[in-house]
């Protein structure tokens, strides 16, 4: 059975409230990252199911570009929001200092939930 990428979004929703030795910031950063991968992988798989080819070094940028260039307004919206969420994920995964990571996590969760709804609508 293949992995259901929506489970990453469920995990991302609950991570901030859990306790572990890594601390609050680590949980918030991980939540942002998992939220991004939840919707990125769903978008990627939807494109693959249409027969699209994602060869190349940067599949993340390829997915966003394909959605943006699709000509479909909803897919273009997904591309824009996915690009924003990717920037937050990159900050969470690579930047040593983030101002107001809690706010960034909340915004990221809102974007991811919106993208997930749009993905379901775009690939009915």
Cα distances (Å, whole numbers) of residue 50 to 56, 60, 85, 111, 116: 18, 17, 24, 24, 18
Domains delineated in the chain: 6-122 (1.20.120)
* pTM, rounded to two decimals: 0.92
Per-residue confidence of the chain (124 residues) as pLDDT tens digits?
Answer: 799 999 999 999 998 888 777 799 999 999 999 999 999 999 999 999 999 988 776 899 999 999 999 999 999 999 999 999 999 999 999 999 999 999 999 999 999 999 999 999 999 8
Here the tokens at position 84 are 């924003």
Query: Under the phi-then-psi rule, with left for phi > 0, alpha for psi from -120 to 50, and beta for the rest, what region is 51?
Result: left
> How many Å apart are CA 105 and CA 34, to the nearest integer?
11
């Amino acid at each position: 059975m293949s992995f259901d990428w929506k489970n990453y979004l469920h995990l991302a929703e609950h991570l901030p409230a859990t306790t572990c030795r890594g601390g609050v910031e680590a949980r918030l950063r991980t939540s942002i990252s998992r939220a991004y991968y939840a919707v990125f992988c769903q978008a990627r798989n939807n494109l693959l199911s249409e027969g699209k080819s994602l060869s190349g070094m940067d599949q993340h940028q390829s997915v966003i570009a394909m959605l943006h260039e699709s000509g479909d307004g909803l897919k273009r919206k997904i591309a824009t929001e996915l690009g924003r969420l990717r920037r937050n994920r990159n900050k969470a995964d690579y930047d040593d200092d983030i101002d107001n990571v809690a706010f960034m996590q909340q915004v990221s969760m809102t974007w991811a939930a919106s993208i997930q709804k749009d993905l379901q609508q775009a690939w009915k």
